[in-house]
Structure 1
Amino acid sequence: MQLLTAFASVAALAAAGTCQSITKVSGFNSGPTSLGMYVYVPKTLTKPAPIVVAIHHCQGSAQGYSTETKYMPLADSHGFILIYPNSRSSGGCFDVSSTATLTHNGGGDSQTIANMVTYAVANYGGDANRTFVTGTSSGAMMTNVMVGAYPNVFKAGSVYSGVPDGCFYVSGSTATQDPPGWSNSCANGQTTKTAQAWGDLTRSYYPSYTGARPRMQIWHGTADNTLHYPNYAETMKQWSNVLAVDLSKTTSNSPQSGYTQIIYGNGTTATASLVGYSAAGVGHTVPVHETMDLAFFGIA
Protein backbone atom coordinates (compact mmCIF):
# COMPACT_ATOMS: atom_id res chain seq x y z
CA MET A 1 0.00 0.00 0.00
CA GLN A 2 2.73 2.38 0.97
CA LEU A 3 5.60 3.29 -1.35
CA LEU A 4 8.33 5.33 0.27
CA THR A 5 8.62 8.80 -1.18
CA ALA A 6 11.89 10.55 -1.76
CA PHE A 7 11.09 12.67 1.27
CA ALA A 8 10.78 9.63 3.49
CA SER A 9 13.99 8.13 2.13
CA VAL A 10 15.91 11.30 2.92
CA ALA A 11 14.37 11.38 6.38
CA ALA A 12 15.41 7.78 6.95
CA LEU A 13 19.00 8.51 6.00
CA ALA A 14 19.08 11.56 8.22
CA ALA A 15 17.72 9.67 11.20
CA ALA A 16 20.00 6.69 10.60
CA GLY A 17 23.00 8.91 11.11
CA THR A 18 22.03 9.77 14.66
CA CYS A 19 22.60 6.44 16.48
CA GLN A 20 19.06 6.68 17.80
CA SER A 21 17.15 3.41 17.81
CA ILE A 22 14.04 1.86 19.24
CA THR A 23 13.96 -1.11 21.57
CA LYS A 24 11.68 -4.12 21.45
CA VAL A 25 9.83 -4.60 24.73
CA SER A 26 10.24 -8.27 25.55
CA GLY A 27 8.18 -7.89 28.73
CA PHE A 28 5.03 -6.80 26.91
CA ASN A 29 2.71 -9.78 26.61
CA SER A 30 -0.68 -8.16 27.19
CA GLY A 31 -2.10 -8.98 23.75
CA PRO A 32 -4.81 -9.90 22.88
CA THR A 33 -3.17 -9.99 19.42
CA SER A 34 0.53 -10.61 18.85
CA LEU A 35 1.69 -7.15 17.83
CA GLY A 36 5.25 -6.28 18.76
CA MET A 37 5.84 -3.31 21.07
CA TYR A 38 8.85 -1.09 20.41
CA VAL A 39 9.70 2.03 22.39
CA TYR A 40 12.01 4.99 22.40
CA VAL A 41 12.53 6.51 25.84
CA PRO A 42 14.80 9.58 25.97
CA LYS A 43 17.57 9.64 28.55
CA THR A 44 16.19 12.88 29.95
CA LEU A 45 12.57 12.43 30.92
CA THR A 46 10.43 14.43 33.29
CA LYS A 47 7.85 12.04 34.71
CA PRO A 48 5.03 11.66 34.11
CA ALA A 49 5.97 12.11 30.45
CA PRO A 50 3.70 12.49 27.41
CA ILE A 51 3.29 9.41 25.23
CA VAL A 52 3.07 9.42 21.43
CA VAL A 53 2.02 6.21 19.66
CA ALA A 54 3.30 6.18 16.04
CA ILE A 55 1.77 3.50 13.80
CA HIS A 56 3.42 2.36 10.58
CA HIS A 57 1.99 1.71 7.12
CA CYS A 58 1.52 -1.53 5.19
CA GLN A 59 4.80 -2.99 3.88
CA GLY A 60 6.40 -1.26 6.83
CA SER A 61 7.57 -1.97 10.34
CA ALA A 62 8.07 -0.29 13.68
CA GLN A 63 11.80 -0.04 13.01
CA GLY A 64 11.27 1.40 9.54
CA TYR A 65 8.71 3.97 10.65
CA SER A 66 10.96 5.11 13.49
CA THR A 67 13.60 6.15 10.94
CA GLU A 68 11.28 7.38 8.18
CA THR A 69 9.79 9.85 10.64
CA LYS A 70 11.63 12.38 12.81
CA TYR A 71 9.91 11.86 16.13
CA MET A 72 12.94 10.46 17.98
CA PRO A 73 15.10 13.63 17.98
CA LEU A 74 11.99 15.58 18.96
CA ALA A 75 11.43 13.15 21.83
CA ASP A 76 14.94 13.97 23.03
CA SER A 77 14.20 17.69 22.83
CA HIS A 78 10.76 17.62 24.44
CA GLY A 79 10.96 14.62 26.75
CA PHE A 80 8.17 12.34 25.56
CA ILE A 81 7.93 8.57 25.21
CA LEU A 82 7.43 6.98 21.80
CA ILE A 83 5.59 3.70 21.23
CA TYR A 84 5.91 2.00 17.83
CA PRO A 85 3.52 -0.96 17.42
CA ASN A 86 4.75 -3.58 14.96
CA SER A 87 2.25 -5.41 12.75
CA ARG A 88 1.99 -9.19 13.02
CA SER A 89 0.79 -9.63 9.40
CA SER A 90 3.06 -10.76 6.58
CA GLY A 91 2.28 -7.60 4.60
CA GLY A 92 2.85 -5.27 7.51
CA CYS A 93 -0.78 -4.08 7.70
CA PHE A 94 -2.85 -3.63 10.84
CA ASP A 95 -6.33 -5.07 11.16
CA VAL A 96 -8.93 -2.32 10.88
CA SER A 97 -11.61 -4.53 9.32
CA SER A 98 -12.82 -6.80 12.13
CA THR A 99 -15.47 -6.08 14.71
CA ALA A 100 -12.93 -7.11 17.37
CA THR A 101 -10.54 -4.29 16.46
CA LEU A 102 -13.21 -1.67 15.84
CA THR A 103 -14.87 -2.26 19.23
CA HIS A 104 -13.66 -1.00 22.60
CA ASN A 105 -12.01 -3.92 24.43
CA GLY A 106 -13.16 -6.18 21.60
CA GLY A 107 -10.01 -8.30 21.48
CA GLY A 108 -8.35 -6.94 18.33
CA ASP A 109 -5.22 -5.00 17.38
CA SER A 110 -6.64 -1.78 18.81
CA GLN A 111 -6.91 -3.30 22.28
CA THR A 112 -3.32 -4.52 22.06
CA ILE A 113 -2.13 -1.00 21.22
CA ALA A 114 -4.18 0.46 24.08
CA ASN A 115 -2.53 -2.08 26.37
CA MET A 116 0.88 -0.82 25.19
CA VAL A 117 -0.05 2.61 26.53
CA THR A 118 -0.97 1.08 29.88
CA TYR A 119 2.39 -0.71 29.91
CA ALA A 120 4.29 2.51 29.16
CA VAL A 121 2.48 4.35 31.95
CA ALA A 122 3.32 1.60 34.45
CA ASN A 123 6.91 0.88 33.38
CA TYR A 124 8.36 4.08 31.87
CA GLY A 125 6.64 6.85 33.79
CA GLY A 126 4.23 7.79 31.01
CA ASP A 127 1.41 10.25 31.60
CA ALA A 128 -1.98 8.60 31.12
CA ASN A 129 -3.50 12.06 30.74
CA ARG A 130 -1.20 13.12 27.90
CA THR A 131 -1.31 10.26 25.41
CA PHE A 132 -1.54 10.82 21.65
CA VAL A 133 -1.60 8.72 18.48
CA THR A 134 -0.55 9.22 14.87
CA GLY A 135 0.05 7.07 11.82
CA THR A 136 0.42 6.78 8.07
CA SER A 137 -1.81 4.82 5.64
CA SER A 138 -2.67 1.58 7.50
CA GLY A 139 -1.38 3.36 10.59
CA ALA A 140 -3.62 6.32 9.79
CA MET A 141 -6.62 4.03 9.53
CA MET A 142 -5.65 2.52 12.88
CA THR A 143 -5.23 6.01 14.36
CA ASN A 144 -8.87 6.78 13.55
CA VAL A 145 -9.87 3.42 15.04
CA MET A 146 -7.85 4.03 18.21
CA VAL A 147 -9.42 7.43 18.76
CA GLY A 148 -12.88 6.02 18.06
CA ALA A 149 -12.64 2.93 20.25
CA TYR A 150 -10.43 4.37 23.00
CA PRO A 151 -11.41 8.02 23.53
CA ASN A 152 -10.70 7.40 27.22
CA VAL A 153 -7.03 6.73 26.41
CA PHE A 154 -6.08 9.33 23.79
CA LYS A 155 -6.30 13.11 23.93
CA ALA A 156 -5.64 13.77 20.24
CA GLY A 157 -4.75 12.08 16.96
CA SER A 158 -3.01 13.02 13.70
CA VAL A 159 -3.96 11.03 10.60
CA TYR A 160 -1.84 10.85 7.42
CA SER A 161 -3.74 9.55 4.38
CA GLY A 162 -6.26 7.24 6.00
CA VAL A 163 -9.99 6.47 5.92
CA PRO A 164 -12.83 7.09 8.40
CA ASP A 165 -13.19 5.00 11.52
CA GLY A 166 -15.14 1.87 10.57
CA CYS A 167 -14.95 2.48 6.82
CA PHE A 168 -12.75 -0.58 6.26
CA TYR A 169 -15.10 -2.99 8.05
CA VAL A 170 -15.39 -6.33 6.22
CA SER A 171 -18.13 -8.77 7.22
CA GLY A 172 -16.63 -11.99 8.53
CA SER A 173 -13.15 -10.53 8.92
CA THR A 174 -11.28 -11.66 12.03
CA ALA A 175 -8.61 -9.97 14.10
CA THR A 176 -6.08 -12.75 13.47
CA GLN A 177 -6.41 -13.40 9.74
CA ASP A 178 -3.41 -12.73 7.50
CA PRO A 179 -3.65 -10.58 5.52
CA PRO A 180 -6.26 -8.45 7.31
CA GLY A 181 -9.53 -7.74 5.53
CA TRP A 182 -9.50 -5.22 2.69
CA SER A 183 -12.39 -3.02 1.55
CA ASN A 184 -12.08 -1.91 -2.08
CA SER A 185 -15.15 0.30 -1.74
CA CYS A 186 -13.61 2.25 1.11
CA ALA A 187 -10.11 2.36 -0.37
CA ASN A 188 -11.50 3.70 -3.65
CA GLY A 189 -13.42 6.44 -1.89
CA GLN A 190 -16.80 4.95 -2.78
CA THR A 191 -18.07 4.54 0.80
CA THR A 192 -19.98 7.67 1.71
CA LYS A 193 -22.25 8.51 4.63
CA THR A 194 -23.80 11.56 6.20
CA ALA A 195 -21.85 13.21 9.02
CA GLN A 196 -24.47 11.91 11.46
CA ALA A 197 -24.16 8.35 10.18
CA TRP A 198 -20.36 8.43 10.43
CA GLY A 199 -20.59 9.87 13.93
CA ASP A 200 -23.12 7.27 15.00
CA LEU A 201 -20.81 4.54 13.69
CA THR A 202 -17.91 5.78 15.82
CA ARG A 203 -20.10 6.12 18.89
CA SER A 204 -21.41 2.58 18.39
CA TYR A 205 -17.96 1.11 18.99
CA TYR A 206 -17.97 2.35 22.61
CA PRO A 207 -21.65 3.07 23.32
CA SER A 208 -21.29 3.54 27.07
CA TYR A 209 -18.68 6.30 26.74
CA THR A 210 -19.92 9.80 27.59
CA GLY A 211 -16.68 11.69 28.21
CA ALA A 212 -14.68 14.16 26.13
CA ARG A 213 -13.61 13.13 22.65
CA PRO A 214 -10.02 13.44 21.35
CA ARG A 215 -9.10 16.35 19.08
CA MET A 216 -8.21 15.39 15.50
CA GLN A 217 -5.83 16.55 12.77
CA ILE A 218 -6.39 15.06 9.30
CA TRP A 219 -4.00 15.11 6.29
CA HIS A 220 -4.75 13.83 2.79
CA GLY A 221 -3.41 14.28 -0.75
CA THR A 222 -5.67 15.04 -3.70
CA ALA A 223 -3.70 12.64 -5.94
CA ASP A 224 -3.95 9.66 -3.57
CA ASN A 225 -4.64 6.58 -5.69
CA THR A 226 -4.38 4.06 -2.84
CA LEU A 227 -6.79 5.43 -0.24
CA HIS A 228 -8.54 7.82 -2.56
CA TYR A 229 -9.09 11.50 -1.82
CA PRO A 230 -12.87 11.32 -1.11
CA ASN A 231 -11.89 9.63 2.16
CA TYR A 232 -10.63 13.02 3.36
CA ALA A 233 -14.07 14.62 3.18
CA GLU A 234 -15.70 11.55 4.75
CA THR A 235 -13.21 11.58 7.62
CA MET A 236 -13.77 15.30 8.22
CA LYS A 237 -17.54 14.72 8.24
CA GLN A 238 -17.13 11.96 10.79
CA TRP A 239 -15.05 13.86 13.31
CA SER A 240 -16.97 17.11 12.86
CA ASN A 241 -20.06 15.22 13.99
CA VAL A 242 -18.33 13.35 16.82
CA LEU A 243 -16.78 16.57 18.09
CA ALA A 244 -19.91 18.64 17.36
CA VAL A 245 -18.05 21.40 15.49
CA ASP A 246 -18.66 23.30 12.25
CA LEU A 247 -16.27 24.67 9.64
CA SER A 248 -15.05 28.08 10.77
CA LYS A 249 -12.00 28.98 8.68
CA THR A 250 -10.25 28.06 5.42
CA THR A 251 -6.69 29.15 4.58
CA SER A 252 -4.89 28.52 1.29
CA ASN A 253 -1.18 27.66 1.06
CA SER A 254 -0.91 26.72 4.72
CA PRO A 255 1.34 25.34 6.14
CA GLN A 256 3.01 25.33 2.72
CA SER A 257 2.28 25.98 -0.92
CA GLY A 258 -0.52 23.80 -2.29
CA TYR A 259 -1.96 22.84 1.08
CA THR A 260 -5.38 24.08 2.14
CA GLN A 261 -6.02 24.25 5.85
CA ILE A 262 -9.49 24.08 7.35
CA ILE A 263 -10.40 24.65 10.98
CA TYR A 264 -13.58 23.46 12.64
CA GLY A 265 -14.84 25.17 15.78
CA ASN A 266 -12.97 27.68 17.88
CA GLY A 267 -9.23 27.98 18.27
CA THR A 268 -6.06 27.95 16.21
CA THR A 269 -4.34 25.19 14.26
CA ALA A 270 -2.78 24.09 17.53
CA THR A 271 -5.86 24.30 19.73
CA ALA A 272 -8.98 23.71 17.60
CA SER A 273 -10.91 20.47 18.01
CA LEU A 274 -10.61 19.53 14.34
CA VAL A 275 -8.08 20.67 11.72
CA GLY A 276 -7.73 19.36 8.17
CA TYR A 277 -5.06 19.70 5.49
CA SER A 278 -5.78 18.98 1.82
CA ALA A 279 -2.50 18.63 -0.11
CA ALA A 280 -2.92 19.46 -3.82
CA GLY A 281 -1.14 17.04 -6.14
CA VAL A 282 0.21 14.91 -3.30
CA GLY A 283 -0.23 11.16 -3.65
CA HIS A 284 -0.04 8.36 -1.13
CA THR A 285 1.05 9.46 1.39
CA VAL A 286 1.26 13.01 2.71
CA PRO A 287 4.71 13.53 4.28
CA VAL A 288 4.65 13.54 8.06
CA HIS A 289 4.78 17.01 9.65
CA GLU A 290 6.20 16.03 13.01
CA THR A 291 6.59 19.47 14.58
CA MET A 292 3.00 20.34 13.68
CA ASP A 293 1.85 17.09 15.26
CA LEU A 294 3.59 17.99 18.49
CA ALA A 295 2.14 21.49 18.45
CA PHE A 296 -1.33 20.02 17.95
CA PHE A 297 -0.71 17.58 20.80
CA GLY A 298 0.40 20.43 23.05
CA ILE A 299 3.83 18.89 23.59
CA ALA A 300 5.98 21.44 21.73
Structure 2
Amino acid sequence: MAKIESWFKAFRLRTLPLSFSSVILGSMLALYKDAFQPAILIGALITTLFLQILSNLANDYGDHKNGIDNDNRLGPKRSVQSGEITPRQMIAGIVICSILAFASGLWLLYEVSKKADLTIVLSFLIIGLLAIGAAIKYTVGKNPYGYKGLGDIAVFLFFGIIGVAGTYFLHTNQMDWKELLPAVSIGLLATGVLNLNNLRDIENDRDSNKRSLVVIMGLKKAKIYHAFLILGSIAAVIVYTFLEYHSNYQFLFLIAAPMLIQNVLVVFRSTSSAEFDAELKKLALATLIFAITIGIGLNY
Protein backbone atom coordinates (compact mmCIF):
# COMPACT_ATOMS: atom_id res chain seq x y z
CA MET A 1 0.00 0.00 0.00
CA ALA A 2 1.15 3.53 -0.73
CA LYS A 3 2.15 5.57 2.31
CA ILE A 4 -0.24 8.16 3.70
CA GLU A 5 2.32 10.88 2.94
CA SER A 6 2.30 9.85 -0.72
CA TRP A 7 -1.47 10.22 -0.89
CA PHE A 8 -1.41 13.65 0.72
CA LYS A 9 1.24 14.66 -1.80
CA ALA A 10 -1.01 13.39 -4.61
CA PHE A 11 -3.97 15.32 -3.15
CA ARG A 12 -1.97 18.54 -3.80
CA LEU A 13 -3.77 20.42 -1.05
CA ARG A 14 -1.93 23.61 -2.06
CA THR A 15 -4.42 23.89 -4.94
CA LEU A 16 -7.38 24.23 -2.56
CA PRO A 17 -7.18 28.00 -1.90
CA LEU A 18 -7.93 28.63 -5.57
CA SER A 19 -10.98 26.34 -5.65
CA PHE A 20 -12.25 27.58 -2.28
CA SER A 21 -12.11 31.17 -3.57
CA SER A 22 -15.19 30.52 -5.71
CA VAL A 23 -17.30 29.12 -2.87
CA ILE A 24 -16.20 31.81 -0.42
CA LEU A 25 -17.03 34.67 -2.78
CA GLY A 26 -20.35 33.14 -3.84
CA SER A 27 -21.31 32.78 -0.18
CA MET A 28 -20.26 36.34 0.67
CA LEU A 29 -22.35 37.63 -2.22
CA ALA A 30 -25.30 35.76 -0.67
CA LEU A 31 -24.48 37.30 2.72
CA TYR A 32 -24.73 40.73 1.12
CA LYS A 33 -28.26 39.82 -0.04
CA ASP A 34 -29.17 38.52 3.47
CA ALA A 35 -29.54 34.99 2.12
CA PHE A 36 -26.45 33.30 3.57
CA GLN A 37 -26.91 29.73 4.83
CA PRO A 38 -24.03 28.19 6.85
CA ALA A 39 -24.97 24.64 5.84
CA ILE A 40 -24.71 25.58 2.15
CA LEU A 41 -21.24 27.05 2.69
CA ILE A 42 -20.02 23.95 4.54
CA GLY A 43 -21.57 21.56 2.02
CA ALA A 44 -20.16 23.50 -0.94
CA LEU A 45 -16.66 23.63 0.59
CA ILE A 46 -16.62 19.90 1.31
CA THR A 47 -17.89 19.05 -2.17
CA THR A 48 -15.33 21.39 -3.72
CA LEU A 49 -12.61 19.76 -1.61
CA PHE A 50 -13.40 16.31 -2.99
CA LEU A 51 -13.80 17.58 -6.56
CA GLN A 52 -10.43 19.33 -6.45
CA ILE A 53 -8.68 16.28 -5.01
CA LEU A 54 -10.43 14.10 -7.59
CA SER A 55 -9.15 16.37 -10.36
CA ASN A 56 -5.61 16.23 -8.98
CA LEU A 57 -5.63 12.43 -8.71
CA ALA A 58 -7.08 12.04 -12.20
CA ASN A 59 -4.46 14.41 -13.63
CA ASP A 60 -1.71 12.45 -11.88
CA TYR A 61 -2.94 9.21 -13.41
CA GLY A 62 -3.90 10.59 -16.84
CA ASP A 63 -0.68 12.51 -17.48
CA HIS A 64 1.36 9.43 -16.50
CA LYS A 65 -0.65 7.09 -18.71
CA ASN A 66 -0.41 9.49 -21.66
CA GLY A 67 3.33 10.03 -21.25
CA ILE A 68 3.10 13.71 -20.28
CA ASP A 69 4.74 13.10 -16.91
CA ASN A 70 8.34 12.35 -17.82
CA ASP A 71 11.85 13.43 -16.90
CA ASN A 72 11.50 16.66 -18.90
CA ARG A 73 8.45 17.88 -16.98
CA LEU A 74 9.01 20.69 -14.47
CA GLY A 75 7.09 21.30 -11.27
CA PRO A 76 6.36 18.89 -8.39
CA LYS A 77 6.99 15.24 -9.23
CA ARG A 78 3.73 13.32 -9.60
CA SER A 79 2.98 10.28 -7.42
CA VAL A 80 2.38 7.71 -10.17
CA GLN A 81 5.36 8.98 -12.15
CA SER A 82 7.64 8.58 -9.12
CA GLY A 83 6.30 5.11 -8.32
CA GLU A 84 5.04 6.13 -4.88
CA ILE A 85 1.51 5.14 -5.94
CA THR A 86 0.82 2.47 -8.53
CA PRO A 87 -1.61 3.14 -11.42
CA ARG A 88 -4.03 0.58 -9.97
CA GLN A 89 -3.96 2.25 -6.56
CA MET A 90 -4.52 5.63 -8.18
CA ILE A 91 -7.58 4.33 -10.05
CA ALA A 92 -8.96 3.10 -6.73
CA GLY A 93 -8.30 6.54 -5.24
CA ILE A 94 -10.13 8.20 -8.15
CA VAL A 95 -13.16 5.93 -7.66
CA ILE A 96 -13.29 6.54 -3.89
CA CYS A 97 -12.93 10.30 -4.34
CA SER A 98 -15.67 10.31 -6.98
CA ILE A 99 -18.01 8.55 -4.55
CA LEU A 100 -17.15 11.01 -1.77
CA ALA A 101 -17.72 13.99 -4.08
CA PHE A 102 -21.08 12.56 -5.15
CA ALA A 103 -22.11 11.82 -1.54
CA SER A 104 -21.16 15.28 -0.28
CA GLY A 105 -22.93 16.79 -3.28
CA LEU A 106 -26.11 14.88 -2.37
CA TRP A 107 -25.92 16.22 1.18
CA LEU A 108 -25.48 19.74 -0.20
CA LEU A 109 -28.51 19.29 -2.44
CA TYR A 110 -30.50 17.95 0.52
CA GLU A 111 -29.83 21.23 2.31
CA VAL A 112 -30.77 23.15 -0.83
CA SER A 113 -34.03 21.18 -1.19
CA LYS A 114 -35.32 22.60 2.09
CA LYS A 115 -35.94 25.93 0.35
CA ALA A 116 -35.73 25.15 -3.37
CA ASP A 117 -38.04 23.23 -5.71
CA LEU A 118 -37.24 19.89 -7.30
CA THR A 119 -36.29 21.41 -10.66
CA ILE A 120 -33.43 23.37 -9.10
CA VAL A 121 -32.23 20.35 -7.14
CA LEU A 122 -32.22 18.11 -10.22
CA SER A 123 -30.48 20.80 -12.28
CA PHE A 124 -27.64 21.04 -9.78
CA LEU A 125 -27.48 17.25 -9.53
CA ILE A 126 -26.75 17.18 -13.27
CA ILE A 127 -24.17 19.98 -12.87
CA GLY A 128 -22.51 18.00 -10.07
CA LEU A 129 -22.29 14.87 -12.21
CA LEU A 130 -20.82 16.95 -15.05
CA ALA A 131 -18.25 18.36 -12.62
CA ILE A 132 -17.17 14.86 -11.58
CA GLY A 133 -16.95 13.81 -15.22
CA ALA A 134 -15.01 16.94 -16.17
CA ALA A 135 -12.52 16.43 -13.32
CA ILE A 136 -11.72 12.95 -14.62
CA LYS A 137 -11.98 13.51 -18.37
CA TYR A 138 -9.51 16.42 -18.32
CA THR A 139 -6.57 14.02 -18.77
CA VAL A 140 -8.12 10.53 -18.58
CA GLY A 141 -9.54 8.53 -21.46
CA LYS A 142 -8.94 8.24 -25.19
CA ASN A 143 -9.70 11.89 -25.99
CA PRO A 144 -9.00 14.01 -22.88
CA TYR A 145 -10.25 17.54 -23.51
CA GLY A 146 -7.31 19.02 -21.62
CA TYR A 147 -5.08 17.88 -24.48
CA LYS A 148 -7.16 19.75 -27.05
CA GLY A 149 -6.96 23.28 -25.72
CA LEU A 150 -10.35 23.08 -23.98
CA GLY A 151 -9.10 23.09 -20.40
CA ASP A 152 -9.33 26.88 -20.15
CA ILE A 153 -13.05 26.84 -20.94
CA ALA A 154 -13.72 24.16 -18.34
CA VAL A 155 -11.75 25.98 -15.65
CA PHE A 156 -13.51 29.27 -16.40
CA LEU A 157 -16.93 27.63 -16.18
CA PHE A 158 -16.41 25.45 -13.10
CA PHE A 159 -14.25 27.83 -11.05
CA GLY A 160 -16.03 30.99 -12.16
CA ILE A 161 -19.59 30.79 -13.42
CA ILE A 162 -20.61 27.60 -11.61
CA GLY A 163 -18.27 28.05 -8.64
CA VAL A 164 -19.24 31.63 -7.74
CA ALA A 165 -22.64 32.21 -9.36
CA GLY A 166 -23.73 28.62 -8.67
CA THR A 167 -22.85 28.89 -4.98
CA TYR A 168 -24.66 32.23 -4.80
CA PHE A 169 -27.74 30.64 -6.39
CA LEU A 170 -27.69 27.71 -3.94
CA HIS A 171 -27.90 30.21 -1.07
CA THR A 172 -30.45 32.57 -2.60
CA ASN A 173 -32.45 30.57 -5.20
CA GLN A 174 -32.21 33.58 -7.46
CA MET A 175 -29.76 35.17 -9.88
CA ASP A 176 -29.12 38.74 -10.93
CA TRP A 177 -26.95 39.26 -14.02
CA LYS A 178 -24.69 41.55 -11.96
CA GLU A 179 -23.52 38.58 -9.85
CA LEU A 180 -22.04 37.13 -13.02
CA LEU A 181 -19.37 39.86 -12.98
CA PRO A 182 -17.52 38.61 -9.86
CA ALA A 183 -18.08 35.07 -11.14
CA VAL A 184 -16.39 36.01 -14.42
CA SER A 185 -13.58 37.68 -12.45
CA ILE A 186 -12.68 34.58 -10.42
CA GLY A 187 -13.10 32.40 -13.50
CA LEU A 188 -10.57 34.51 -15.39
CA LEU A 189 -8.07 34.34 -12.52
CA ALA A 190 -8.45 30.56 -12.21
CA THR A 191 -7.88 30.30 -15.96
CA GLY A 192 -4.79 32.46 -15.44
CA VAL A 193 -3.42 29.88 -13.00
CA LEU A 194 -3.96 27.15 -15.60
CA ASN A 195 -2.32 29.35 -18.23
CA LEU A 196 0.74 29.77 -16.00
CA ASN A 197 0.90 26.01 -15.56
CA ASN A 198 0.74 25.54 -19.33
CA LEU A 199 3.34 28.26 -19.92
CA ARG A 200 5.67 26.39 -17.59
CA ASP A 201 5.07 23.10 -19.43
CA ILE A 202 4.91 24.42 -22.99
CA GLU A 203 8.02 22.64 -24.26
CA ASN A 204 7.26 19.27 -22.71
CA ASP A 205 3.58 19.49 -23.71
CA ARG A 206 4.55 20.30 -27.31
CA ASP A 207 7.00 17.39 -27.42
CA SER A 208 4.40 15.06 -25.87
CA ASN A 209 1.61 16.07 -28.28
CA LYS A 210 -0.45 17.71 -25.54
CA ARG A 211 -2.09 20.63 -27.32
CA SER A 212 -2.84 23.02 -24.48
CA LEU A 213 -4.08 26.47 -25.48
CA VAL A 214 -0.57 27.80 -24.84
CA VAL A 215 0.91 25.26 -27.27
CA ILE A 216 -1.73 26.20 -29.86
CA MET A 217 -1.21 29.97 -29.47
CA GLY A 218 2.53 30.03 -28.91
CA LEU A 219 4.49 31.74 -26.13
CA LYS A 220 4.08 35.37 -27.26
CA LYS A 221 0.31 35.25 -27.73
CA ALA A 222 -0.10 33.21 -24.54
CA LYS A 223 1.53 36.04 -22.56
CA ILE A 224 -0.89 38.57 -24.10
CA TYR A 225 -3.74 36.17 -23.29
CA HIS A 226 -2.51 36.02 -19.69
CA ALA A 227 -2.63 39.81 -19.41
CA PHE A 228 -6.19 39.76 -20.76
CA LEU A 229 -7.21 37.21 -18.11
CA ILE A 230 -5.73 39.09 -15.14
CA LEU A 231 -6.61 42.64 -16.19
CA GLY A 232 -10.05 41.50 -17.36
CA SER A 233 -10.66 40.05 -13.91
CA ILE A 234 -9.88 43.36 -12.22
CA ALA A 235 -12.04 45.26 -14.73
CA ALA A 236 -15.04 42.97 -14.10
CA VAL A 237 -14.93 43.64 -10.35
CA ILE A 238 -14.52 47.39 -10.89
CA VAL A 239 -17.66 47.43 -13.02
CA TYR A 240 -19.55 45.34 -10.44
CA THR A 241 -18.42 47.66 -7.64
CA PHE A 242 -19.77 50.75 -9.39
CA LEU A 243 -23.05 48.96 -10.15
CA GLU A 244 -23.47 47.91 -6.50
CA TYR A 245 -21.73 50.90 -4.92
CA HIS A 246 -22.70 51.86 -1.37
CA SER A 247 -19.39 52.31 0.44
CA ASN A 248 -15.73 53.09 -0.24
CA TYR A 249 -14.89 49.86 1.58
CA GLN A 250 -15.97 48.06 -1.57
CA PHE A 251 -12.65 49.05 -3.12
CA LEU A 252 -10.85 46.89 -0.54
CA PHE A 253 -10.16 44.38 -3.33
CA LEU A 254 -7.57 46.82 -4.69
CA ILE A 255 -5.26 45.46 -1.97
CA ALA A 256 -4.75 42.42 -4.18
CA ALA A 257 -4.48 44.40 -7.44
CA PRO A 258 -0.70 45.08 -7.16
CA MET A 259 -0.09 41.33 -6.70
CA LEU A 260 -2.11 40.60 -9.83
CA ILE A 261 -0.48 43.30 -11.93
CA GLN A 262 2.96 42.21 -10.73
CA ASN A 263 2.11 38.71 -11.94
CA VAL A 264 1.42 40.04 -15.44
CA LEU A 265 4.69 41.96 -15.49
CA VAL A 266 6.67 38.92 -14.37
CA VAL A 267 5.04 36.75 -17.03
CA PHE A 268 6.00 39.22 -19.76
CA ARG A 269 9.60 39.35 -18.51
CA SER A 270 9.97 35.61 -17.96
CA THR A 271 11.80 33.45 -20.43
CA SER A 272 12.32 30.25 -18.42
CA SER A 273 9.83 27.65 -17.24
CA ALA A 274 11.10 27.92 -13.67
CA GLU A 275 10.03 31.58 -13.53
CA PHE A 276 6.49 30.66 -14.56
CA ASP A 277 6.39 27.90 -11.95
CA ALA A 278 7.30 30.33 -9.17
CA GLU A 279 4.28 32.50 -10.03
CA LEU A 280 1.70 29.72 -9.70
CA LYS A 281 1.39 29.81 -5.91
CA LYS A 282 1.49 33.60 -5.89
CA LEU A 283 -1.40 33.92 -8.31
CA ALA A 284 -3.48 31.31 -6.48
CA LEU A 285 -2.94 33.14 -3.18
CA ALA A 286 -3.69 36.51 -4.79
CA THR A 287 -6.95 35.07 -6.13
CA LEU A 288 -8.00 33.98 -2.64
CA ILE A 289 -7.15 37.41 -1.20
CA PHE A 290 -8.98 39.06 -4.09
CA ALA A 291 -12.13 36.99 -3.47
CA ILE A 292 -12.13 37.56 0.29
CA THR A 293 -11.55 41.32 0.04
CA ILE A 294 -14.36 41.65 -2.53
CA GLY A 295 -16.70 39.93 -0.10
CA ILE A 296 -15.57 41.85 2.97
CA GLY A 297 -15.82 45.22 1.22
CA LEU A 298 -19.28 44.40 -0.11
CA ASN A 299 -20.60 43.45 3.34
CA TYR A 300 -18.92 46.19 5.39
TM-score, L = length of structure 1: 0.30
Which of the pair is proportionally richer in helix? 2
Max Rg structure: 2
Higher RCO structure (Cα 8 Å, ≥6 apart): 2
TM-score, normalised by the number of residues in structure 2? 0.30
Richer in strand (by share): 1
